[in-house]
Amino acid sequence: MSTQSFPGQQVGDFTIHAISDGYLNASLDFLANIDASEATKMQRDAGEQSPSAMHIN
């Protein structure tokens, strides 16, 4: 059995882990409350090669 664990954040008595289910290629036009060009800039600034790759968590 492996003793390796996912990085987590302790919150009170709980340890929180974020696990990604992957990503979805979709138009950024589908996002609410943000302009698609602004979302594209944010993705590019974060180093995303494909701005339409939205991470699903």
Structural domain includes residue 38? yes
Query: Rounded distance, CA 23 to CA 55, Å?
Result: 4
Does residue 43 surpass a pLDDT of 70? yes
Look up residue 30 and give its DSSP letter. Answer: G
**35 in any annotated domain:** yes
Q: Report if residue 17 sits inside a domain.
A: yes
Confidence of residue 22 (pLDDT cuts 50, 70, 90): confident
Predicted confidence (pLDDT) at residue 2 exceeds the cutoff of 70: no
Q: Give the per-residue pLDDT at 3.
A: 62
Number of domains in the chain: 1
1 or 39: which leads in pLDDT: 39
- pTM over cut 0.85: no
- Comparison of pLDDT for 14 and 2, the residue scoring more: 14
Written as six digits, the tokens of 10 are 């302790």
